[in-house]
Amino acid sequence: MQIAVSGGKGGTGKSTVAINLAVELARRFKLVLADLDVEAPNDHLLLGVELAGEEPVNQFMPKFDYSKCTKCRKCAEVCEEHAIITLKDGTPFLMPNLCSGCRACEIVCPVPGAILEAFRVIGHTYVTETPYGFTLVTGKLREGEERSMPLVVEAKKRARNLDYELLMVDTAAGTGNTVSKAIEGSKLLIAVTEPTPLGIHDTELILQLGKLMGLKTWVVVNRADLGDVGKVREIAEKYGAEVVAEIPYSENIVRSYVSGRPIVLEDVPEAKIFRELAERVAGFLGGGE
């Protein structure tokens, strides 16, 4: 079973919702939380844990054996990323940063052995046991690498290979295709939003994505007292989604964010909101609508 926590824009408190839900849901399910915000993974910081179990993500890139290459340029023509440039006489050269590792060049090269397998490390995945009874999987793109899709795919794979009843994915901000890749396969999408005009604008996009993917979608309104929750409800309704929780702006949450200790563990009113939300999620998953 899989559920996803996402939000149209950055800084809405998506990770806060994800980690607190994870802590709470780990009491009921054997749980894995996958931090698939590979450009800015933060769940481990919010949980106050050090990343462990590092594994490099190696990505294919072509290496040319110039003694065999006939300079036919086919590899360069087929590369959708324009990662291969050719000299006037047809000699191919790779610009590693642009290469997505798709192997299209290898497939079309007519000369066996002209393209050799080389790899480069584009990032890492981590598997960390948290003290809260669940496992955290983290994907981290290497600085200077442009493409986050392969890392999202790898981190998700690593998470899926673990033993769990419930996989929870925390996605990047935005609504691009790496977010859809992270969300893919979820039974429920929890969209975290703010009731500000900017937040509402971005919420509409994530709801659109949820609808396109045919997902049951819930909306959690963070910093609910900073704006008009009614507007969020309107938008949610338009997309057949439901507002299921409102979290007020709270110094307690800010403090927990900073100190790396989930707020559900504290004896404060905000903790109750997350506990109730977790209960609702558990009810939904157990009963299966």
Partner 1 sequence: MQVAIASGKGGVGKSTITASLLYFLKDRYKLIAVDADAEAPNLGLLLGVEEWEEEREHIGAKVAKINTETCVRCGICYERCPYESIYIDEDGNYIVNELTCEGCNVCGLVCPVPGTITLEQARSGVIRKATTKYGFPIISAQLDVGRPESGKLVTEEKEWAKKLMDELNLEHMIVDSAAGIGCQVIASIGGADLTILIAEPTPASLSDVQRAYKVVQHFRQPAYLIINKADLNPGFTALREWAEAEGIPVIGEVPYDRAIPKSMAMLKPVVEAFPDSPASKALKEIAERIAEEILG
The least CB distance from residue 123 to ligand SF4, in Å, is: 16
C-beta neighbour count of 283 within 10 angstroms: 11
Residue 60 or 284 with smaller CB distance to ligand SF4 = 60
- Name beta bridge partners: 123: 57, 141
Of 105 and 221, nearer to ligand SF4 (C-beta) is 105
The reply to whether 100 sits near ligand SF4 by the rule CB under 6 A is yes
Minimum Å gap between C-beta 146 and partner 1 is 4
How far is the C-alpha of 20 from the C-alpha of 222, rounded, in Å?
A: 13
Positive or negative: CA dihedral 34, 40, 43, 48: positive
Give residues in contact with partner 1 (CB under 8 A). Answer: 8-12, 15, 39-40, 42, 45-46, 78, 80-81, 100-104, 107-108, 141, 143-150, 153, 172-178, 180-181, 184, 196-198, 201-202, 205, 208-209, 212-213, 223, 226-227, 249, 254, 257-258, 260
Q: Of partner 1, ligand SF4, none, which one does residue 146 interact with (CB within 5 to 8 Å by kind)?
A: partner 1
For 211, the token pair is: 């609808």
Rounded Cα gap, residues 68 and 49, in angstroms: 50
Q: Which does 202 bind (CB under 5 to 8 A by kind): partner 1, ligand SF4, none?
A: partner 1
Q: Is 92 in the site for ligand SF4 (CB under 6 A)?
A: yes
Give residues 113-152 in contact with ligand SF4 (rule: CB under 6 A).
114-115
Closest CB 111 distance from ligand SF4, rounded Å: 4
Rule CB under 6 A: say whether 75 interacts with ligand SF4: yes
75 binds, options ligand SF4, partner 1, none, Cβ within 5 to 8 A by partner type: ligand SF4
**Cα atoms in the Cβ-side hemisphere of radius 13 Å centred on 83:** 21
CB of 225 to ligand SF4, least distance (A): 43
Those residues whose C-beta lies under 8 Å from the C-beta of residue 57, and which sit 6 or more positions away, are 121, 122, 123, 124, 125, 139, 150, 151, 154
Sorted by sequence, the CB contacts under 8 Å of residue 10 that are 6+ apart come out as 40, 173, 174
Residue 287: CB partners within 8 Å, gap ≥ 6? Answer: none
Tokens of 123: 């990032």
| Alpha-carbon gap, residue 69 to 219, rounded angstroms | 55
Which one, 113 or 283, has the nearer CB to ligand SF4?
113
- Residues 44-73 binding ligand SF4 (CB under 6 A) are 60-62, 64, 69-73
Which of residues 177 and 259 has its CB atom nearest to ligand SF4 in the complex?
A: 177
